[in-house]
Every structure is written in C-alpha cells, then in structure tokens.
Amino acid sequence: MHFLDQAKIFVRSGAGGPGAVSFRREKYVQYGGPDGGNGGKGGDVIFEAVAGLNTLIDFRYAQHFKAMRGIQGMGRDRHGAYGDDLVIQVPVGTQVLADDEERTLLLDLTEVGQSVVFLRGGDGGRGNASYKSSTNRAPRQHGPGWPGEEMYVWLRLKLLADAGLVGMPNAGKSTFINQVSNTKAKVGDYPFTTTRPQLGVVDHKSREFVLADIPGLIAGAAEGVGIGDRFLGHIERCRILIHLIDATQDDPIAAWHIVCDELSEYGAALDEKPQIVALNKGDLLDPELMADIAEQLHAAGAQDVIAISGATGQGVDLVLDRILEALPAKSGIEGAKADGITEDGTWSPI
C-alpha cells in the first residue's frame, strides 16, 4: 500500500429539502385546509479518526464527498426524511486545513474514535401547513430549504509516534528500526533508501512505544534539496528524537550540525525536543576511535551521545532505555503489576 500524507478534497453537506404546498382533499370535507409537510434536514459532513489507517491513499482516487440532501415534504402533513450524514474516516493524526495561503488549521484529529461535525447540513424548508394562522387560512407559501455548505480542504497526516529517528542519508536509520521492531524497512548502500516514513512498534522491558523513521536530511532540506523537509511533520508530535550519525563518514560533527540546523530551520520547536545522539556503525571502527568522536560531539554541544551498532545490536538497549525514561510511565512495571505481573515477570493473581 502506497503512503500518502496529504490530499486535497472537496466536501459538501446536504441541502435541506423543500417544504410542500398541499391542501387536504377529502370527500365531505369542504375546507380541508393546508397540509403540506416540512422538508428534511440535509446530512452533515463528519470527520472521524479510526484505528488501522496510516495513509491517505484512499483520497487520491476519490476527491469529492457530498452528503445526502433532505427529502422534500409531502401532503397529508408528511415531513421529509433527514439526509444521511456523510462520515469520512481518516487516520489518527490527520489535520484538516483550509485551502488558503496560510493553510489555516480547522481540525486536528489526534484520538481514536474522535468524531467532529465539520459541515452542517441545511435545515429543511417549511411546508404551507406551518404558515397557517387565523388570518391566513389557506397559505400557499413554503420554504425552499437551506443550502448546504461546501469547501475545498487539505488533509495532512502527521503520524503519531513516541520517538522519531532523524539523521543524514545512510546513517543507518532503517537498520536501526529493523533491529528494534518487526518493521521491514528497505536497507541499501545508497542515499535516500527510505523515501517515505516508516512506523515500528518497539517492545522493550515490558513496555511498548511507537518509533518513526523519516527520510534522511541533507544541507538545504528546508529549501527542498533532496527529498526536502516535508516529512518532518511526522515527528512534530514525538516526545524524543534519536539522532543517528554515521561514525564512518568523513566529518560526523559536521553531519550533526547539518541535521540540527535543518530541524531549527523547519520550526515547530523540533530543535527543542530532547535528543539522543546515537553514533552508529560502531562495529566498523575501533572503540578508541568511537570514544574520540563521541568526545568531539560532546564538545560541539551534543548532550547524550551513545555509541551503537544498528547491525549487531551493540548499545541499542541503552538507547531504548533512554527513550523509556523520556516517555510517561503508562505501561511499565506499574502497568504490569496492575495486570497481575510481578517484577520478575511471573503472573500472580494477587
């Protein structure tokens, strides 16, 4: 399934049904009077965040969404039926943006099951029976029904992940996420092997969290160089970033500065998020050389530098420990005890 994180669609709520103009016609009833019913209300357009979706690919093939209009009123005081609401299901983390230059945020769906009425259907028109009065015994006016609302909007998906992987191309991000999760990310010895974000669920010390891998950043990504920075939006919601650096490249410190500058240039406070610097590919260099590069990164301003090897798993557990420390304790030992699991991992009914 292809990954698509933005799409432009047209949405329209249903118009209200018109009211009816009718008079009672019945044998032996000389003055039956008006009996035209009201029209039904048009259907609403509703956005709903559902689990199990992580792409907007469905909106590539269907861009127009129109709710059902209300049914017209009829004689014998029969009111028209309401139009069915149109529920548009989107992945959790989807934002609905206005089609203007500023891309104004209209909706932000961040929870499973969150449902919001986006466009309200038009009210139905009044039938002539509702216009009857002591001075207007045979009204012939009726309401045509209120029109629905319509607009073009942009859907933008920002994946919900607890931690995000950043780094330059060939830093080993795909190898790392494959090492710690069941993700089958493509691995190659050429730049930009990853062309779309990847999500992986990591199970570490009886806790689970979601890890996001995005395509590599290079100098000038904020201006569109390489794949650009369009995928950085997927790590805006992350609590912590893992910055992978290829220790075998010519200047690891310059690589660290380049990625940090791109995060700062992008905005959204990405450069202020807690960051773990993982000095990768330690299996290819001597420990002394890895320690020397780590000291240079410390001197350059990196706070937490850990030497790892994504291929062999060396130092990966320490990185995962740091991630757990930055996440809320919602599924650790406290949660395990609540489920009847003791600290040594055995189950107990007490």
pLDDT, one tens digit per residue, over 243-259 is 999 888 888 899 889 88
73 is in an annotated binding site: no
Digit-coded pLDDT (tens) for 311-334: 888 899 999 999 998 888 754 334
The CATH number that domain 163-326 falls under is: 3.40.50.300
167 is in an annotated binding site: yes
Supply the pLDDT for residue 344.
52
Per-residue confidence at 117, pLDDT binned at 50, 70, 90? Answer: very high
Digit-coded pLDDT (tens) for 84-114: 999 999 999 999 999 998 899 999 998 999 9
pLDDT average, residue stretch 9-36: 92
Per-residue confidence at 77, pLDDT binned at 50, 70, 90? Answer: very high
8 is in an annotated binding site: no
Highest mean pLDDT among 24-38, 141-155, 214-228, 268-282: 141-155
85 is in an annotated binding site: no
pLDDT average, residue stretch 194-198: 76
Locate the DSSP E strands across the chain: 6-12, 45-50, 64-66, 86-91, 94-98, 105-109, 115-119, 150-157, 163-167, 198-204, 207-213, 240-246, 275-280, 304-307
246 is in an annotated binding site: no
349 is in an annotated binding site: no
19 is in an annotated binding site: no
pLDDT average, residue stretch 151-170: 89
Supply the pLDDT for residue 2.
66
Digit-coded pLDDT (tens) for 277-290: 999 988 888 889 99
Asked if the model's pLDDT at residue 346 lies above 70, the reply is: no
147 is in an annotated binding site: no
Residue 41 CB neighbours (<10 A): 26
Asked if the model's pLDDT at residue 14 lies above 90, the reply is: yes
Radius of gyration of the chain (CA): 30
213 is in an annotated binding site: yes
Sign of CA dihedral 323, 256, 199, 62: positive
Asked if the model's pLDDT at residue 39 lies above 90, the reply is: yes
Q: Longest Cα pair distance anywhere in the chain, in angstroms?
A: 109
132 is in an annotated binding site: no
Residue 209 CA to residue 196 CA, distance in Å, equals 20
Supply the pLDDT for residue 334.
41
Cβ atoms of residues 231 and 212 within 8 Å: no
Supply the pLDDT for residue 318.
92
Supply the pLDDT for residue 173.
87
Asked if the model's pLDDT at residue 341 lies above 70, the reply is: no
216 is in an annotated binding site: yes
pLDDT average, residue stretch 264-275: 85
Digit-coded pLDDT (tens) for 40-73: 999 999 999 998 888 898 998 899 999 999 999 9
328 is in an annotated binding site: no
Cβ atoms of residues 109 and 92 within 8 Å: yes
% of the chain surpassing 70 pLDDT: 91
List, by residue range, all CATH 2.70.210.12 domains of the chain. 6-157
Cβ atoms of residues 168 and 255 within 8 Å: yes
134 is in an annotated binding site: no
215 is in an annotated binding site: yes
175 is in an annotated binding site: no
22 is in an annotated binding site: no
Residue 155 CA to residue 96 CA, distance in Å, equals 5
Give me the chain's average pLDDT, please: 86
136 is in an annotated binding site: no
310 is in an annotated binding site: yes
Per-residue confidence at 167, pLDDT binned at 50, 70, 90? Answer: confident
242 is in an annotated binding site: no
Question: Picking from 271-275, 287-291, 341-345, which range would have the lowest pLDDT averaged per residue?
Answer: 341-345
Distance of CA 149 to the CA centre of its chain: 24
- In terms of CATH architecture, what is 6-157? Distorted Sandwich (2.70)
301 is in an annotated binding site: no
Per-residue confidence at 343, pLDDT binned at 50, 70, 90? Answer: low
